[in-house]
Structure 1
Amino acid sequence: MSFIKFLLHFLPDVFMVFGGALPYLPQYQQIRETRTTGSFSKHVCLVLLIANSLRIFFRVGEVYETALFLQAVVMIFAMFALVELVPCLKPEEFWNWTYFVDYLQFMVLFWIVVAFTTYVFLHSPSYFNILGFLALGTESLLATPQLWKNYQNSSTTGMSMFMVLGWLVGDIFKTGYFVFLNQPFQFILCGSIQVTVDCLIICQVFYYKSSKKVSTDPEDLTAVLLEDTEI
């Protein structure tokens, strides 16, 4: 029984640590194979890098589950992997910089600024409350750049559906994880918003797919008319 209890506690923690990064594997593979980013919004990487960095500093003043801390570290490495890949394809569309080192320098500068600010307000509970809301609030909006880009393009072509489904499954799981382990309110609010945005993106997939089927391509219509004329 003790071993079963260990597994019931250990496996959710393992999934929490690595599960957040898994949805990006199919997107990473798709970008490598197609050599294009398609409808994938690269600003998702920026949002996650900022959010998970803030979450790490949040732990200085608010102790939460170690698995959530490790998840933030794993996610930062995963986002750097995507950032390193994408500028090679379309540098002019990715944060306005060309080389991977520019993104790395930006993040290092960001870490230094946040570390200094955290040191100054080390004994301020209000600061860590604000930091927590910034960290989890930013993370809760991670999929909104994707939602907006889909809306602008009226298409989800090039966006990995497996990635979005991975978001949804992971966000539902981690929201339940937050509630079950009685984590700080910021985590629960973040998870709830993420699940909502994930569902909206999935709705976009079906909506734009059905719209594409209903709409008629003018070139196809012209071809049909020409064939009728020849007959």
Structure 2
Amino acid sequence: MLVASILKLFYWFGARYDLPLLIQAGIMVLVQTVLLHVALLNRPPIGAQHSLTQPFAGASEKTPLPTPRPFNFWQWRARKPYWHFLLGYAGVLVALQVLVGSGPFYTALQGYVALSVEATLPLPQIWENHRSKSCRGFRLSVLANWIVGDAFKMTYFFLAGGTKVPWAFKMCGLFQAMCDAYLGVQYWMYGDGSRAASDAEKDGRVA
């Protein structure tokens, strides 16, 4: 979300989309920065909670991720690399804005990249639910908020008069809404995991 929201801020200079969308992107950068700071301060120590749910699990631990990321991207144990990356990322975007920021192709690329990153955020959750045949740990209240938010967003994008919303927002917003709707289908199919646990317990008794 930080990568997408920072890029959306730069996208505004070329697209000049509606001010509420710009304010939303700025608030998102602020909130996600605070959340990253809190997460980095409260990470479990190395070796604790040997599971894939351990946040920021580095490749040097006993239980690394199945597919290590190049340069351990966003899996660093030290705090400074996260801030160094974000500052470097913003610096590169500033340089590109000065050099080619006025070009229509670059402006469109900014929008579609930023909003595609944001729109694909539900995909890991969809895959995990499909793999485990369960929505355990995924709160129904979160899903409901996402779907309600999508409804308001689509109404604003397509039905509000006098707004300037580029097609990048509309297309990526539609894709994200479909992903959230499918998460709702998965929750209806799999439940919160209690059903699978009950079936496993019955199978154990039969055996």
1:203 corresponds to 2:185: yes
Give the alignment's Cα RMSD to 1 decimal.
2.5
Q: Are 1:83 and 1:100, in contact at CA under 8 Å, matched by a contact in 2?
A: no
Superposed CA deviations along residues 177-209 of structure 1, whole A, max 9, x for unmatched, are 122224111111121111100011111112122
Match of 1:124 among 81, 91, 103: 103
CA change 1:182–1:159 in 2 (3 A) is same
| Structure 2 CA distance for aligned equivalents of residues 79 and 142 of structure 1 | 14
Match of 1:217 among 192, 196, 200: 200
Q: What residue is the counterpart of 1:155 in the other structure?
A: 134
Matches within 5 A, 1:133-212: 133-179=112-158, 180=160, 181-209=163-191
Q: What number of residue pairs does the alignment pair up?
A: 177
Q: What residue is the counterpart of 1:56 in the other structure?
A: 9
Match of 2:88 among 98, 109, 125: 109
Q: Which has the higher contact order (CA 8 A, sep 6+)?
A: 1
CA change 1:182–1:104 in 2 (3 A) is same
Over the matched positions of the two proteins, sequence identity in percent amounts to 27
| Structure 2 CA distance for aligned equivalents of residues 51 and 128 of structure 1 | 14
| TM-score (structure 2 length as normaliser) | 0.74
| Structure 1 CA distance for aligned equivalents of residues 193 and 102 of structure 2 | 55
CA change 1:100–1:210 in 2 (3 A) is closer
Match of 2:22 among 69, 74, 82: 69
Which is further off, 65-74 or 140-149?
140-149
Q: Are 2:135 and 2:192, in contact at CA under 8 Å, matched by a contact in 1?
A: no
Shift of 1:123: 2.5
Unaligned runs of 5+ in 2: 45-53, 58-64, 66-72
One-letter amino acid of the counterpart of residue 60, structure 1? F
Structure ID, larger Rg? 1
| TM-score (structure 1 length as normaliser) | 0.67
Secondary structure of the 1:64 match is coil
Q: Are 1:136 and 1:190, in contact at CA under 8 Å, matched by a contact in 2?
A: yes
Superposed CA deviations along residues 20-77 of structure 1, whole A, max 9, x for unmatched, are xxxxxxxxxxxxxxxxxxxxxxxxxxxx111111110001111011111111111122
